[in-house]
Structure formats: C-alpha cells, structure tokens
Structure 1
Amino acid sequence: MILGPIGPIVLGIALWKLYKSVKAGTNVRPWAATVIATFCMVDGLINFSPWSFDTFAHNTVLGETFITGYGRFFDGAFYVDYNSGALGGIPNTAEKMWQYLAVFILMPMRVVSVWAFMQMRTWGLHFMKVSAWLYLFLWAGYTMAMSMDFEERMATSEFGLGWWLFNLFYLSPVFVLPYLYTVDKSRWCR
C-alpha cells in the first residue's frame, strides 16, 4: 500500500517496452491480453493485501492505521469495535469467512493464474476462467452477506454509500469473463 504510487511508473515503463517490442516486430502477446492480465493482477493484489492485513497484522500499527482508516471512510465494520472479535480484526464472523476464502484460496490462485496467462500458458488461460468464476461467486456472496447488516456497517461510515461505490472494483469478473471465452485458444499453446 505504501509503495502503490510507484506502481503506475513501473506499469508505464513495461507498457512502453511492450510498445517498442511490437514496433520492432517481435512476437509478443496481444495488447488485450496484457491489459486484462495487468488489470486482474492489480485487482487480485489489491484485494489480497488489505484482507491479509486484517487476517494476520490486525494488531500492528500499519494494519490498524490502514484498515481503520478504510473503515472510517467506507465500511464502518472495519472501524467500530475493531479488534474486539475472537479472531482479531473485524469482529463480523461472516466477513472473516470471506477473508479466509480470499486470502488462502482465491486471490493467490488469481495472481498465479494471471502470471501464467501473461506467459501465454494454456493452464493460465484455464485457471483465469476458474478464478474469474470463483471471484464472481465470492462477490455475489460477499455482497449478500454485507447487505444483511448494511445499517450497522454503512451508517458509521463517512460517506454512507462508500461500500457500494467501492464495490464496483470487485466486478472485474463481469468484464474479464467475456474476453476469456472469446480468446483464440491456439495462441495459448504452451
């Protein structure tokens, strides 16, 4: 999170090198695959990092600062009664279940599949589809679970609709899945 502002610079350098490779006539992956993979990698790591902080580092100064700051502005469950539950971090047990699912299974799977997808591996394409579907199911379940205690969570946030606005970033599978099913599989032949 601290090094996040450096990310666009690194991404810009990588895209410039890709552009120069295409101009030189070398065989590179399609631009659409690069953009989709980069978007999914960033999305997976953005979701993995804060939930990892809440799962493993909820008592640290850095963890409490970032997580309770997010809770103050967007989702009151990460602010009110924070670190009062049996597992630490957010006291909502339904939220903890979604965090464990994301931290231990889905987001690492997503990041690894994106890495293989960028290398044009066949299994990377297949696991991108699997992780996108799992991510869509996680988003649907998480949305339902968080909507059940909307009054307690969003009434304490600064902007009221914060979680619903922030939730738009979790919709990446809706945009990625159509591309993954229309891609030419013969290019992912390794």
Structure 2
Amino acid sequence: MSIVVPRKRITYPETDGKPMAETDWHYKSVTNTRFSLEWHFREREDVYVSGNLFVYYEEGNPRKCVAPDVFVVFGVPKRPRRVYLVWEEGKGLDVVFEFTSKKTRREDFGRKMDIYRGILGVQELFIFDPLREYLMPPLVGYFRRGEKWVRQEAGEGRLVSEVLGLEVVVEGERLRLYDPKTKNFLPSPEDLLQGT
C-alpha cells in the first residue's frame, strides 16, 4: 500500500496591504497613464495593460514578485487578472512605467530594475519623478539593446517608445502620451474632467 501525499497548493497573494501611491501626483500619474494606454490599445485583444498588480516570476515561490506602477504586455489576452503569473502567461512584461519618489527611488532603481532587466525581459522602462524631488530631468528611459539597457534622459522632456509607437512627454508635473500618427495626445481621466 502506498501513501499519496497531496501536493501543497501555493497561494499567490493579490495584495501586500501597502498603499498604491505616495501622493496625489503619483496617483494621478499612475491612473492617467494606465487609462491612456488602455484607451490607445482598446481595439487590440492581444495587448494587456495593467498596474499595481503583482507579477509573480518564479513558480512555487510567492515571495518572488514585483508590482509595477503601470505595465504593458503584447501577445497575451486582454482580460482581468487577480495576479500576473509569468509561467502561465508564457512571457514577461514589455513596457513598464514607474512613478518614483524619495521613498521608492532605491527600490525603483535597484531591486525592481534588476528584476525588469534580468528576469522579466522588459524592453522599455520609463521612470518619472512628478515632483522633481531628485531626478533631473524628471523622466529617464531604459531601452533594451541585446542583453543590456541603454539609459536615455528626456533632456527636452520627451522620449520615444518604439515598442508602444508613442512619445512619452513631460508636461509640468504630468506625464503624457503622444501619438505621432494622429498628432494628438492620448486622452486621460484628467483631460476628460477638464473637458480637453
């Protein structure tokens, strides 16, 4: 007679109990960017836009996760998720936006960056400091070139995202997305509230 030991089910938590954003500026940056990207890719069923969602990158280890402020993945179904499990989705993230602050900068430029570059295969990372607390210019991009990332500062307040086909633009304390094909900024909740 053999004894069958049931396999332990791993739970991947959906929350860590920490607040989503540091300040109103950070919260607006996250929600405006996510909304704009969802609007831009609204007709694409193979593009997933999310943010502040746990991305688990090692099966069986619920401690191996990261929660990007906003991210985009091409080639996976657009559908609601509780968490993003890389091994089930079949790929990592393509583009990540982080809205950094004095409190989060060490993690944004340290652990998170290492995970994005080395484990998740992120093609482009944009880090924006809406309050200009320490990052000047306030927008910096990292672009994958082979196995390395090339850092580019937005000296004139603008970076090009080849992956998204958009320009990432600093406008005061806001980060906006510009579509060079339509020659228009993508709408955001803030724009809609202001009637622009």
Return the TM-score normalized by structure 1: 0.28
Question: Normalized per residue, which structure has more helix?
Answer: 1
Return the TM-score normalized by structure 2: 0.28
RCO comparison, higher one (Cα < 8 Å, 6+):
1
